[in-house]
Amino acid sequence: MSDTSVLRLATTHDATSIAATIAASFAQYRGKLVPESGAFRETTEGIAAEMAKGASAIVAERNGEVLGCVLMEEMEGDLYFGRLSVLPSARGQGLARRLIEAVEAEALRRGLAGIRLGVRIVLTDNQRLFASLGYRETSREAHPGFDRPTSINMRKPLR
């Protein structure tokens, strides 16, 4: 099946759809990640407030329905992305890869040096996806209250 989805920069009017997409996409991790993912605390109001302060997002939609999204913010000369989300019903169509490519294009448009992300150590499939796209581990860190690393920071230079 060909993918007829459209990717575009989100506006604050998309905050409700973005929050719902993140919730549906991360539902598979509920009770499986320690500590629990911060994705479960994302709200329409919180996303809209972050966007009003300069964060941004990209949405993938088909026929007006948001199928995927990713949140972005500038960090130390790079573009950081998080909450990469694709609805379970839209998986297997390359949307996650297209969203990442759109983040990279946005970073280039802004003249930034690279892209950063964080991924949980236990999410090895996600790590493999990022590595296949040229992201390399830069460090590991522990969430507050943990004495061992729980997350991997990755980066891809763009220039």
Supply the DSSP string of 51-88, one letter for each residue: HHTT-EEEEEEETTEEEEEEEEEEETTEEEEEEEEE-G
Rounded Cα distance between 29 and 54, Å, is 28
Q: How many domains in the chain?
A: 1
pTM recorded for the entire structure: 0.94
Q: Is 131 inside a domain boundary?
A: no
Q: pLDDT-based confidence at 147, cuts 50/70/90?
A: very high
Q: Is 98 inside a domain boundary?
A: yes
pLDDT score of 122 more than 80: yes
Cα-to-chain-centroid distance, residue 117: 8
Q: Is 157 inside a domain boundary?
A: no
Q: Is 37 inside a domain boundary?
A: yes
pLDDT score of 31 more than 90: no
Q: Is 60 inside a domain boundary?
A: yes
Containing structural domain, residue 15: 6-116
Q: What is the pLDDT of residue 3?
A: 55
**φ and ψ at 15, to 5 degrees?**
-55, -40
Query: What pLDDT, in 10s, does the model give residues 61-86?
Result: 999 899 999 999 999 999 999 999 99
**Mean pLDDT across the stretch 28-56?**
93
- CATH number of the domain within which 80 lies: 3.40.630.30
Q: Is 19 inside a domain boundary?
A: yes
Query: What pLDDT, in 10s, does the model give residues 123-146?
Result: 999 999 999 999 999 999 999 999
Query: What pLDDT, in 10s, does the model give residues 87-117?
Result: 999 999 999 999 999 999 999 999 999 999 9
**Mean pLDDT across the stretch 32-56?**
94
